[in-house]
Structure 1
């Protein structure tokens, strides 16, 4: 399939002449006249000027992806080769559902080719299109959403931006293995919904838990195949360009740290940065915040270890025994990054063991004779 039919080129006067050859704009290959040979890239940028699923879409400026680009292109290039291409903006479909299906085809093709797409702009319901891209990749996936609230309302009058998570979780065929939601704010979230999702063994972390234990959140992100980040999770001071601006939330630094974790995750194959509303962003502060988040994701990508051979010399192996159980719990530590993994055996014996990301604290918990909660959660999903 020729991807170029789905995209519109970028304006040459804005993106064709980088002021600094050492900036991101000096290293990126944008779609100006000729669609770039994206198969030669490692990371691809995709703009999503689609807001029909948003609350109050009539007031939206559709320049969001380009405004983020303007800020990103000005930043200095980081380390590594930075084989980065910008495919331009995805042309919206005739209907919103058509856009979801277009995004699905693009994600499926790009991810299947081993490229890392970063999606810029658009309302948060486009997460559903991002998720659909994994339907025919023949694997169970882990999904991480970062948002100030759970977009799982069932009211038919609610905009798709507020209900897309419901569609994602109930999608058939079911290829969702794990789901984690980070940074929800309790006063914006229905408690019955939280209880129902916890019974399904999903991981839910309040904003306070994320901020207080940012390093403990890293293993959660490390088990994701796709990540969706709604700008509403960031406080108004750092990201005023959002419809539901809130004085509380993640700082810009914390958002960038989470994107750094995401970029470093060898398993992560797509990242969506959603919810930017330029009509509320008078000084382009939010565009700069989102651009910096994308920068950290790209920089993290070029710090990936690209090896998960747990039997190699890159890993140390630790076995923890329990006095009332003949089995041992196995842990693995990367010698270079000092990141930890944990082996989870299927107690029913119906499937092979899984080696999942964990933290040093999980190892200490097992060494003290207790079973880590992360092990219990995975065992329940096997």
Structure 2
């Protein structure tokens, strides 16, 4: 497939001064005059200057801000020093928006589908958060269920049909036919920004949701949540205004920039995760380019995490130590845990209620193992078994 027809090349004049030795700008192969060989790349950067998702009425033309978000993020990202290990990364340029917003979703779907089919991870710099719908559609061809994690201060699942697209894309994902979403993890939401009915829907569907205070208390507990995901989307509004002022409405509360980078590091480390989308950056509100630097650093941590992956997916190998936890002498049931000998990460095997369905091995934390030893059933086990059925 000729992906170049979907993209606008970058202006090389912007990047001439960024090609200093040992910086990412010297290593990333960019689409300027010749489209880069994405098939041999580990990661592909994609910019999308699409903001029609912010409007409640149909807008026929894109309303790109005077300074495109992806362009500003690139200028910060390319100045960062390359990490350890190899660096096979391409920048495909900016995706040409469709005639309608739905056309843009479908274009993004095609791009994501092709890239992940060739084991190239797209990093999408948006654009409004509703573009995650197109990112999600890129997994439809896999013919299996997928897991998704979204980091956001709110939950974009309103039932208000007149709301802007970037306030209801999660409902669009849930209503999509065929339905191939197995789990959804919501990280960093703030209760006073979310309709109670929406949280009730998440609970009924046995999805995981973590308030921003829970992330503050123990960001390490977000690692298993992220490790389960096939795709991760990040709304910049999840980050407090002090660390990322480039979004509206302004919010003094949220994740710190450090916590955002930690989550992206976890995503990069995950052997399951195959796409990352970062959305809702408004350059007009980012006068000192602090948000751009925060996003660039998040992407740097994701890339660095990727090049530290352990390929820990074969639980029958000698890479893992297997633990069987019995609840009591009268109960023959056992809960099976796996611990990686190299990364020391934990997994939990969940048996289905129906004998016709297969068990699933899902990421967990050491805290889940300690809870099982005490004779308590971890909430992660309960939610997973409920989804399996």
Please, what TM-score do these two structures have when normalized by structure 2? 0.96
2:358 aligned with 1:352: yes
Name the structure 1 match of 2:384: 378
Aligned to 1:22: 22
Unaligned runs of 5+ in 2: 57-61
Deviation at 1:136, TM superposition (A): 1.2
Q: Does 210-219 or 92-101 show the bigger shift?
A: 210-219
Find 2:342's aligned residue among 336, 344, 354. 336
> For 1:82, which of 79, 87, 109 is the aligned residue?
87
Q: Does 1:363 align with 2:369?
A: yes
Partner of 2:36: 36
The 5-angstrom pairing of residues 1-382 of structure 1 reads 1-16=1-16, 18-55=18-55, 60-61=65-66, 63-323=68-328, 324-382=330-388
Tell me if structure 2 keeps the 8 A contact 1:15–1:30.
no
Q: Is the 1:122–1:274 contact (alpha carbons within 8 Å) kept by the matching residues of 2?
A: yes
Deviation at 1:18, TM superposition (A): 3.1
Is the 8 Å Cα contact of residues 49 and 62 (structure 1) preserved in structure 2? Answer: no
Show CA shifts across 1:165-201 (max 9, x none).
1101111100000011111111111112112210110
Distance 2:228 2:359 in 1: 15
Q: Residue 53 of structure 1 aligns to a residue in which SS?
A: helix
Native 8 Å contact 2:50 2:64 kept in 1: no
For the aligned residue pairs, the C-alpha RMSD in angstroms reads: 1.3
**Pairs aligned (count):** 382
TM-score, normalised to structure 1, is 0.97
Deviation at 1:62, TM superposition (A): 5.1
Give the whole-Å Cα distance in 2 for the aligned partners of 1:80 and 1:140.
32
* Structure 1: 4+ residue segments shifted above 6 A: none
Once residues 60 and 162 of structure 1 are traced to their aligned partners in structure 2, the CA distance between those partners, rounded to angstroms, is: 20
Give, in angstroms, the shift of residue 217 of structure 1.
1.1
Contact 2:206–2:386 (8 Å) recurs in 1: yes
